[in-house]
Amino acid sequence: MAQLTRRKFLGGASAIAAGAAAGPWVLRAHAQGAPIKIGLVLPYSGVYAVLGESITQAMELVFARENWTVAGRKIEMIKEDDEMQPPVGIRKTEKLIESDKVDILTGPVHSGILMGMRDKVHNSKTILIVSNAGADAISRERCSKWIFRTSFSNWQPNQPMGGWVAKNVSKDVFIMAPNYQAGKDQLGAFKETFVPAGGKLVGEDYPKLGETDYAPYLTKVRQSGAKAVYAFFSGTDAVNFVKQYDQFGLKQSIKLTGAGFLTEPDVLPAQGRSALGVITGHFYTPLLENPTNVAFVRDFRAKFGGKMPDGFACQGYDTAETIVRALKAVGGNTQDKEKLVAAIEATAFESPRGPFRFDPKTHNVIQPFIYIREVKEVAGGLNNVPFDKVADVRDPGTGCTLPA
Amino acid sequence: MGDLFAQALNGLSYGVLLFLLSVGLTLIFGMLDVVNLAHGSYYMLGAYAGLSLIAATGNFWLALGLAPLAVGVVGAVVERTCLRPLYRRGPLDQVLLTFGLIYVFEDLVKWIWGGRIRSIPTPELFASSVNVWGAVIPSYRLFVIGFGLAMAVALWLVIERTRLGAIIRAGVYDSEMTAGMGINIHRVFTLVFAFGAALAGLSGVIAGPIQSAYPPMGASILIPALIVVVVGGLGSLKGSLAGSLLIGQAETFGKAWLPGASMLIIYVVMAVVLLVRPQGLFGRALK
C-alpha cells in the first residue's frame, strides 16, 4: 500500500518535473515531502471580499508563525475567488479537488456554495474545514465525516439570544431577516428560546436580500407596538438597515438587537454613529481580554497595517490553527485520511474566542461563549463591547449520525 | 390611515430617487437610441465622488453640487470616445460596450476607493425624523421628495420652454431630421449624455445618506431604473416621472402588505402596463 502511493506520487512528481523542467528541485522537494496544498474557496471580489480577506489574512498570520512549514512539509495556499456565486464556487471546488489535488479545503462564505460543495467533498473524501458558511444542515442531516466547521452554525449565535432578549430587553419583539435560508435559520433559532421565555412576536418580516429601502418595514415596526427589534442582516443590508433604523428615529424608543453580523467591523465604519447602542450576540469581539486574543489582535494589527481583526479573522485563525495542530499530530502524513480526520476531531486549543474544540457528534465547533456586546465609542473608534455571555453553545445536530 | 399616509410618503421618497436616476436613462434612450446599461455606473461614481468631496470639504451641499459636474464630464468623455463610433452599428454592439463599461467603472472604483462598504453621513440639517400628520419620516427623506419634485419641474421647464429643450424633443422624435435642419446633433448628443450621467451622479449623492456605497451598487439599481423607463415610455420626461412614482408606490405597498410577493410586484406592474399600453404610459405609439 505504501509502495503504491509512493510510486504514484513519484509518477506525479516526475510529470511535474518534466513540465517545469526542474528535475533536481522536485527531487529535493520530495525528499523533504511535497508541499501540503490548502485550497481556499472564498470571495475575493465584490462586497464580501472583505470577509474572504479577513479569513485569509488570519490564516497567513498563523502559517507565517510556523514559517510556512509543518512537520517538515511546506504549506501552500491556493486561493480561488468564488465571487459569492454557487456555480462559480462549485466549479472552483472541482478544480481544487481534481486538478490541484489539494489536501485540505477551506471556505466558503456563502451557505449556498457550501451546500453545493457538500456532495463533491463527501464523495471524493476531501477534507473540508468550513471557515464561514453557517448553513445548519451541515451540522444536521447533511453532516459528513469529511467536513468540519470552525466558524458557526447559523443556530449558534441566535439561539442564546432569544432567552437573553426576553429576559433583559423586552418580551414584545419584532423580528426581521433577509428572505433566504440563512435568514430563516437564524430567526428560527432565536424563536426556540424566545417564545418559551415568555416572549411575544409582535411582527415578523423577511425583506429581500440586497434590499436598499427598508422604509416600509420600519414604518410597520413603529406601528406594531414593539419594544425591541431582533434582526439578522449582514453586508450592505446591515449598513442600510441600521442607518435607516436610526434615521426613522426608532433607536431611542425601540431597542435594536441582533445577531453579531449586524454590527461586525466590515459594516461598522459605514454605519457610523447610527450603530451606537445596538446589542448583538456573537462568538467573538476583538475586545476580549484572554491572552490568546490579546496576542492575536497585536500580531494581526502589526502585520496588516493596524487593521482590527473581526469574527471572520478569528475563524481564519482557528482554521489554520486546526490544520497546523492536526498535521503535526499525524507527522505531516496527508495520505492516511482517516487518521487525519481523527486528528482534526481531537484538536483542542486556546482560541482568541476561548477554549476551542469540535463537537465529535457533528464536527461543528462548540462555541465556548456567545458574547453579548453593545456598540460603543472606545479608543480607536466604534466597537462591540462585551458585557455578558452565554457559555458552551453546541448545535443540537438533529439528524446527524456521524460514524463514531 | 396614518399608516397608509406614512407608507405613501415612503413610496414617494423612493419614487423620487428612481426618477432622478431614470430620467437621464430615458432621455439617452430616446435621443441617442442607446440602451445605456452603464447608467448605474454614473450613479455609483456620483456616490463615490460625493464621498471624496465630503471627506475633503466636510460639506454635503458642496458635494451635491460638484459631484454631478464631475460625473457629467466623465459621461461626456465616454460619449465622445466610446459611443460615438458605434452609432452607425447595431444595438447589440452598444449593449456590449455599455455592459463592458459597467465592469470597467466597477474596477476603477475598487481601485480608487477600495471594495469596502462606505456610506455618506446624513447632513446635520436633516439628521432627525419629523412627524407629518401622524406619519413619522426622516426629515432627509422629506428633503429628497422636495428636491426631486423641484428637479422635475425644472427639467420640464427646460425641455418644454427653452430652445435647447425644443432641440432635444426634436432629437428624441427624429434625430436625423433634426440634423437635417442644421442642428449640430452630435454636440446635442454629447450634451444629453453628459446631462443624463450628471443626473445619475446627482441621484448617487442624494441616495448616499440613505443607502450604502459599494462597487456593484450601480448594477443593482439598474433593473428598477430600466423598469421605470419601460413603464413610463422611452424618451418621455412625463413618463419617467409617472413611472417612477408608480413603481415607488407599488414596491413600497408591496413590501408593506404582501411581503412574501414584494419582489414580484414591480414586474407585475410592468407586465400589466406592457399588455395594456406596449409603448409605456407616455411613450409614442410603436411604429
* pLDDT, tens digit (0-9, with 9 covering 90-100), for B233-281: 988 899 999 999 999 999 999 999 988 787 789 999 999 999 999 889 9
- Domain covering A35-152+290-365, topology: Rossmann fold (3.40.50)
Give the span between the Cα atoms of B271 and B265, in whole angstroms. Answer: 10
Closest-CA residue of chain B to A224:
B3
Cβ-nearest to A270 among B14, B207, B212: B212
> CA-based diameter of chain A, in Å?
75
Q: Is the dihedral of CA A377, A381, A382, A384 positive or negative?
A: negative
Tell me the three cell numbers of residue B175: 434625430
Confidence of residue B227 (pLDDT cuts 50, 70, 90): very high
* Inter-chain touch A215–B141, beta carbons under 8 Å: yes
- With beta carbons under 8 A apart, name residues in chain B contacting A179: 263
Q: What DSSP designation does B14 have?
A: H
Give the span between the Cα atoms of A161 and B11, in whole angstroms. Answer: 34
Element (H, E) at A367: strand A367-378
Closest-CA residue of chain A to B127:
A247
- With beta carbons under 8 A apart, name residues in chain B contacting A263: none
- DSSP assignment string, A58-107: HHHHHHHHTTTEETTEEEEEEEEE-TT-HHHHHHHHHHHHHTS--SEEEE
Give the span between the Cα atoms of A256 and A259, in whole angstroms. Answer: 11
Q: How far is CA A307 from the centre of its chain?
A: 19
Candidates A48, A179, A213, A240: best to mutate against B (most CBs of B within 10 A) is A213
* Inter-chain touch A219–B7, beta carbons under 8 Å: yes
- With beta carbons under 8 A apart, name residues in chain B contacting A213: 10, 14, 210-211, 251-252
Element (H, E) at B182: none
Candidates A236, A261, A304: best to mutate against B (most CBs of B within 10 A) is A236
- With beta carbons under 8 A apart, name residues in chain B contacting A244: 138, 210
Q: Does B244 touch chain A (CB under 8 A)?
A: no
- CB interface of A with B, residues 259-278, below 8 Å: 266-267, 269-272
Beta-carbon contacts of B223 under 8 Å, excluding residues fewer than 6 positions away, are none
> CA-based diameter of chain B, in Å?
57
Domain ranges of chain A: 35-152+290-365, 155-282+370-393
Q: How far from B259 is each of A208, A216, B105, B216, CA to CA, in Å?
A: 9, 10, 34, 25
Give the span between the Cα atoms of B206 and B64, in whole angstroms. Answer: 7
* Inter-chain touch B10–A213, beta carbons under 8 Å: yes
Contact A329, A346 (CB under 8 A): yes
Average pLDDT of chain B, as a whole number: 91
Q: Which residue has the higher pLDDT, B3 or B103?
A: B103
CA distance B86 to chain A (A): 30
Give the span between the Cα atoms of A309 and A292, in whole angstroms. Answer: 13
Other CB atoms within a 10 A radius of the CB of residue A250 amount to: 20
Q: Does A213 touch chain B (CB under 8 A)?
A: yes
Residue B1 has pLDDT above 60, yes or no: no
Each residue of B176-187: b (16+ CB within 10 Å) or e?
Answer: eebbeeebebee
Cell 407599488 found at = B250
* Inter-chain touch B255–A207, beta carbons under 8 Å: yes
Q: What DSSP designation does B233 have?
A: -
- Nearest CA to B114 out of B106, B122, B124, B126 is that of B106
* Inter-chain touch A212–B211, beta carbons under 8 Å: yes
Q: How far from A172 is each of A188, A230, A289, A374, B111, CA to CA, in Å?
A: 17, 10, 34, 20, 46
* Inter-chain touch A47–B121, beta carbons under 8 Å: no
Contact A140, A181 (CB under 8 A): no
Q: Does B255 touch chain A (CB under 8 A)?
A: yes
Task: Render pLDDT for B95-110 as a digit per residue (tens, 0 to 9).
Answer: 999 999 999 999 999 8
Closest-CA residue of chain A to B15:
A213
Specify the 3-state DSSP secondary structure of A211. coil
* Inter-chain touch B210–A247, beta carbons under 8 Å: yes
Give the span between the Cα atoms of A298 and B91, in whole angstroms. Answer: 56
A35-152+290-365 and A155-282+370-393 share one fold: yes
pLDDT for position A403: 67
Give the span between the Cα atoms of B51 and A282, in whole angstroms. Answer: 31
pLDDT for position A164: 97
Give the span between the Cα atoms of A260 and A240, in whole angstroms. Answer: 16
Taking 50 as the pLDDT cut, the residues of chain A under it are 1-4, 6-7, 9-31, 404
Give the span between the Cα atoms of B7 and B1, in whole angstroms. Answer: 10
Percent of chain B past pLDDT 70, that is, above it, reads: 98
Contact B283, B239 (CB under 8 A): yes
* Inter-chain touch B117–A244, beta carbons under 8 Å: no
Tell me the three cell numbers of residue A381: 473608534
pLDDT for position B179: 86
Contact A38, A103 (CB under 8 A): yes
Task: Render pLDDT for B112-125 as a digit per residue (tens, 0 to 9).
Answer: 998 888 999 999 89
Specify the 3-state DSSP secondary structure of A389. strand
Give the span between the Cα atoms of B271 and B261, in whole angstroms. Answer: 15
Give the span between the Cα atoms of B14 and A145, in whole angstroms. Answer: 49
Residue B87 has pLDDT above 90, yes or no: no
Q: What DSSP designation does A198 have?
A: T
Contact A148, A344 (CB under 8 A): yes
| Alpha-helix runs per DSSP H in A285-383 | 291-303, 311-329, 337-346
Q: Is the dihedral of CA A284, A286, A288, A289 positive or negative?
A: positive
Q: Does A208 touch chain B (CB under 8 A)?
A: yes
Contact B17, B207 (CB under 8 A): yes
- Nearest CA to A285 out of A262, A256, A304, A302 is that of A262
| Alpha-helix runs per DSSP H in B130-282 | 139-161, 163-173, 175-180, 185-207, 217-232, 237-257, 262-276
* Interface confidence (ipTM) of the complex: 0.91
A155-282+370-393 CATH: 3.40.50.2300
pLDDT for position B183: 87
User: Residue A314: left (phi > 0), alpha (psi -120 to 50), or beta?
Assistant: alpha
* Inter-chain touch A207–B259, beta carbons under 8 Å: yes
Residue B93 one-letter amino acid: D
Other CB atoms within a 10 A radius of the CB of residue A210 amount to: 13
- Nearest CA to B34 out of B76, B107, B88, B100 is that of B88
Cell 455606473 found at = B41
Confidence of residue B217 (pLDDT cuts 50, 70, 90): confident
- DSSP assignment string, A235-256: HHHHHHHHHHHHHTT-TTTSEE
Candidates B118, B119, B252: best to mutate against A (most CBs of A within 10 A) is B119
- With beta carbons under 8 A apart, name residues in chain B contacting A235: 117
Confidence of residue B286 (pLDDT cuts 50, 70, 90): low
Candidates A42, A44, A47, A274: best to mutate against B (most CBs of B within 10 A) is A47
Give the span between the Cα atoms of A61 and B74, in whole angstroms. Answer: 42
Closest-CA residue of chain A to B134:
A223
